[in-house]
Amino acid sequence: MDLITVEVGRRDSECIPKEALQRIISTLANKNDEIQNFIDTLNQTLKGVQENSSNILSELDEEFDSLYSILDEVKESMINSIKQEQARKSQELQSQLSQCNNALENSEELLEFATRSLDIKEPEEFSKAARQIKDRVTMASAFRLSLKPKVSDNMTHLMVDFSQERQILQTLKFLPVPKAPEIDPVECLVADNSVTVAWRMPEEDNKIDHFILEYRKTNFDGLPRVKDERCWEIVDNIKGAEYTLSGLKFDSKYMNFRVRACNKAVAGEYSDPVTLETKALNFNLDNSSSHLNLRVEDTCVEWDPTGGKGQDSKSKGKENKGRSGTPSPKRTSVGSRPPAVRGSRDRFTGESYTVLGDTAIESGQHYWEVKAQKDCKSYSVGVAYKTLGKFDQLGKTNTSWCIHVNNWLQNTFAAKHNNKVKALDVAVPERIGVFCDFDGGQLSFYDANSKQLLYSFKAKFTQPVLPGFMVWCGGLSLSTGMQVPSAVRTLQKNENGMTGSTSSLNNITQ
């Protein structure tokens, strides 16, 4: 029985193709990665709950301490008011009491004197005493006193009733937190290196003061990852329900977006994040194979007349000592370029002051822009096959297409291909936009600012092409990571059938 089971198991395992098992392994690996990402999210959420709870408790203590402080200040002020009123009334009554006591004392003395005067026998002395008593009574303060208190003992005007305030305090509660907005991917727009994000509230909330939009670049599709991601960038104080980020460089495949609503005191929860595709062609200049007289750094190239002279002379001396036609090791390893392998192309040399991009175009539509230095005497912009020879100049072979600007001795502006030239009767723009439709076999050049079409090649590309640049006595700077502008897309729809194709160059010699 065991032998049968083993044999059946062996046959079952043999029935599963290796490719199917690899797909299962890939599916399991992706699922594990997805679960791990979710675990990281849960751990970060748990940590956030603990930190946010601690912060909220601290803020609650501060708010109540502030209330207590205000109540203490109000109480102290009211106590002072009561004490001041008490002191004022007491002073008034004490003064009036003192006056009355003095008047009573004088009146009692006068009464006693008048009573004794009744016993005087002599008429003359009695008459004299009677006149004195009369005069003293007339002047007595007792008869000028007001026998009504100047102030009352009523203090009811300083009584309080905090029943309403107590009711208000009893209604104290947590602020209503704004609900999470909902980003509508259908209403979002990615175009012209700009992203417009639109959202709505799940229900009307008239206490919303503003919104906060956060975004970050990523190369992962789907939900944002906790680890290995760039930091969120913030746009605050957005008053409307949409926002446009413009002037972006699309140097990642996607961008994550989330938004939260804020009232005057608190920010609500984040919306569910949305991932939008932001693919564009990103490339640098290939320093490893540029001409020795070009100084290359990422997206900038500049003519350097001394760049290769010293090394060229040393290389030639060593080459003369060695076998004829065999380049010296130092000559082939200038810069950081690894040793050439069979089938690769050498560094450009001679009068081919050329540098290519480091990323090949094999399909799709792409766009980039080039700006020349003001004093640049000569430069070319275009594309070429990887097989472009090290002595070949852009536009002088059937493997390269370009437009060429010459500001040396005479000013010319022309399109070049296969050693044919067509002069362009337009002004040289400040920035040149390059549009390459590999599948459609089209290479077009535009004024990057006005989007005016300068020239368009029609070609059936049979190999991947590389962005190509030639510069002499000056420099160029590139802008990559750009989407095809909407204006260019519109023009391309109407551009088919226009003159200015490679066929026109076939009849014009250089």
Per-residue pLDDT in tens (0 to 9) along the chain, 510 residues: 444 444 444 545 557 788 888 889 999 999 999 999 999 999 999 999 999 899 989 988 998 999 999 999 999 999 999 999 999 999 999 998 898 898 888 888 888 888 888 888 888 888 888 888 888 888 877 777 888 888 888 988 889 898 898 888 888 877 788 999 999 999 999 999 999 999 999 998 888 999 999 999 988 877 666 665 678 999 999 999 999 999 999 988 899 999 999 998 788 999 999 999 998 999 999 988 899 999 999 999 999 988 755 444 444 444 444 333 333 333 333 333 344 333 344 589 888 999 999 999 999 999 999 999 988 999 999 999 999 999 999 999 999 999 999 998 888 999 999 999 999 999 999 999 999 999 999 999 999 999 999 999 999 999 999 999 999 999 999 999 999 998 898 888 776 555 444 445 643 333
Rg, C-alpha atoms of the chain: 48
Which residues are bridge partners to 470 per DSSP? 354, 380
Q: What is the largest CA-CA distance in the chain?
A: 172
Q: Which tokens sit at 267?
A: 């920010």
Q: Which tokens sit at 205?
A: 């909330």
Q: What predicted TM-score, i.e. pTM, was given to this entire model?
A: 0.60
Spatial distance between the Cα atoms of 361 and 480, rounded to a whole number of angstroms:
13
Q: Which tokens sit at 227?
A: 């680890």
Residue length, the chain?
A: 510
With a CB cutoff of 8 Å and minimum separation 6, the contacts of 258 are 183, 213, 214, 215, 224, 232, 270, 271, 272, 273, 274
Cβ atoms 285, 275 nearer than 8 A: no
Cβ atoms 86, 153 nearer than 8 A: no
Which residues are bridge partners to 469 per DSSP? 355, 381
Angle (deg, nearest 10), helices 123-139 and 18-117: 160
H/E segment holding residue 98? helix 18-117
H/E segment holding residue 15? helix 2-15
Phi and psi at residue 73, to the nearest 5°? -65, -45
End-to-end CA distance of the chain: 87
DSSP notation for 330-350:
HHHT-TTPPPP-TTPPPPP-T
